[in-house]
Chain A
Amino acid sequence: MSEIPGDLKFNKTHEWARVEDGGLVRVGISDHAQAQLGDLVYVELPEIGASVTAGNAAAVVESVKAASDIYSPVSGEVVEVNEALSDKPETINEDAFGEGWIYVVRMSDRAELDQLLDASAYEEVVENEDH
């Protein structure tokens, strides 16, 4: 498994959030999550302009074996989606923390970031799952 980047925040449900300039937050799923799901074959992206709520389903990733909801780490408006995933969903398997990002949200409540796990706390969640 690849190392967990230290600048990311996480949901317990394995989504990551990267805070970028201008109150934007990029969202994806962790390398651990993609490994658990197996080969991804379809990603249902949110629509640009859609509003998402922290903890609620915002997208769906489907692997050969199952469909999984992606729960938004933060609330706000979707301003960008990773269209490349429509043709190459396996990008998430190959680079979950980078090219495999799913959408960007303009967050409406910065305080929600404090509810998320930092990289080391998330690492612990993953380790506890494995044992």
Chain B
Amino acid sequence: MTEKTVLNATHRALGARMVDFGGWDMPINYGSQIEEHHAVRRDAGMFDVSHMTVIDLHGARTKAFLRHLLANSVDKLKVHGKALYSCMLNEQGGVIDDLIVYFLGDAHYRLVVNAATRAKDLAWIQQQAQGFGVEVKERPEFAMVAVQGPNARAKVLGLLHEVDRARIEKLGKFAAAAAQGPHGMPLFVARTGYTGEDGFEIIVPAEHAVALWEALAAAGVVPAGLGARDTLRLEAGMNLYGQDMDETVSPWEANLGWTVALDEGRDFIGRAALEKQKADGVRRVMVGLVLDEKGVLRHGQKVLTAIGEGEILSGSFAPTLEKAVAFARIPAGEPGAVRVDIRGRELPVRLVKYPFVRDGKPCDGI
């Protein structure tokens, strides 16, 4: 049985093409995925991301628990509402999931984890929480709408209660705060996203989600499907769990080393394995590829280098660039000239530093 978000009927009424995504019946597009992509890069678009899992953690030892659970350090979260991106690792240093953690009080943190990994994440977190006396509470009564694009914040601010506007306007990147939305609905507004554009991700009680969506639409925010979300996050250089990393891949091999905090004296799950891998030398690296010829790079295609074969992870036509880009995992070392096998034809690709696109513009060298 596929699950439905509270906005399901709204998507269908808009003529969305629906697909199964991790057990959820979700809109892939509302007509043109490319137009939705451009709407987010140039103006403002919104995504129903209510399928994602919100988990609240309560208890006096929650911080100590998260210092153990996460590869990034919640010690960095000093201000109420501040958010942190982190991997949650197994003992082998493999990635169980990537997530965002919000600091909401000394005894209250909030996690937002992926939909497709919900069950295993909850089981793992509950198991690990036992020794800390932390209460793990899923919040299925929340929906979530991501509003993204250069004009996204302004459009959301216009819908907030006057008393909240100035405060939410000043909200820094990767920080969240409560605010009142249309008709006084209670919102949790976070300046985060998965598109490489500015904007907010808004957690809203499910019973208010349709009214919020309609108010955003009336403010000129364009509904965008998971198809556009995927090309936007790829252009922005953001990993997708299950495609770019999983439990057999460490953060070192997924370009997520920047999210690992090897701070003094913190014994997080997977740390020993990560330190060993670092000392021994990481064998595989994740790189960005650009195809200048016609064709599309796709997940699973073989990558040929001077030092062995690799594989395309996320790959797609990139609407902002009008050519194909990809992440690939290849052997560490000097790869030489790199080619990709597309249906038996070997096409040359360029190895690049990513993100491919930032704030609406192609990055240098792409």
Contacts and interface: CB of A to CB of B under 8 A. Distances in A.
Interface of A: 35-36, 38-39, 41-42, 44, 60, 62, 64-67, 86, 93
Given A38-B17, A38-B28, A38-B33, A64 B298 contact: no
B34 A65 contact: no
A64 B235 CA distance: 13
A64 B298 CA distance: 10
Given A62-B317, A64-B317, A65-B33, A42 B227 contact: no
A64 B316 contact: yes
20 contacts: A38-B28, A38-B29, A38-B33, A38-B227, A39-B32, A39-B33, A41-B296, A41-B317, A42-B294, A42-B317, A44-B295, A62-B295, A62-B296, A62-B317, A64-B34, A64-B317, A65-B28, A67-B296, A67-B343, A86-B294
A36 B17 CA distance: 8
Closest 7 CB pairs of A and B: A41-B317, A39-B34, A62-B296, A64-B317, A39-B33, A38-B33, A64-B33
A67 B317 contact: no
A24 B221 CA distance: 48
Contacts of B33: 38-39, 64-65
Nearest to A89: B294
A42 B315 CA distance: 14
Interface of B: 17, 28-29, 32-34, 227, 231, 294-296, 298, 316-317, 319, 343
Interface of A is mostly: mixed
B235 to A, nearest CB: 12
Contacts of A66: 298
Contacts of B32: 38-39, 93
A114 B10 CA distance: 44
B346 to A, nearest CB: 15
A66 B316 CA distance: 9
A14 to B, nearest CB: 16
Given A38-B28, A42-B317, A65 B294 contact: no
A62 B296 CA distance: 7
A67 B317 CA distance: 11
Given A64-B34, A64-B317, 11 more contacts: A38-B29, A38-B33, A39-B32, A41-B34, A42-B295, A60-B343, A62-B296, A64-B227, A65-B316, A67-B296, A93-B32
Contacts of A86: 294
A87 B298 CA distance: 20
A42 B319 CA distance: 12
A35 B213 CA distance: 25
Contacts of B29: 38
Contacts of B295: 42, 44, 62
Contacts of B17: 35-36, 38
A28 B106 CA distance: 63
A86 B32 CA distance: 20
A7 to B, nearest CB: 28
A99 to B, nearest CB: 18
A39 B34 CA distance: 7
A30 to B, nearest CB: 16
Nearest to B316: A64
A65 B33 CA distance: 9
Contacts of A42: 294-296, 317
Contacts of A35: 17
Contacts of B227: 38, 64-65
Contacts of A65: 28, 33, 227, 316
B189 to A, nearest CB: 30
Contacts of A41: 34, 296, 317
Nearest to A62: B296
Nearest to B294: A42
Contacts of A44: 295
Contacts of B317: 41-42, 62, 64
Contacts of A93: 32
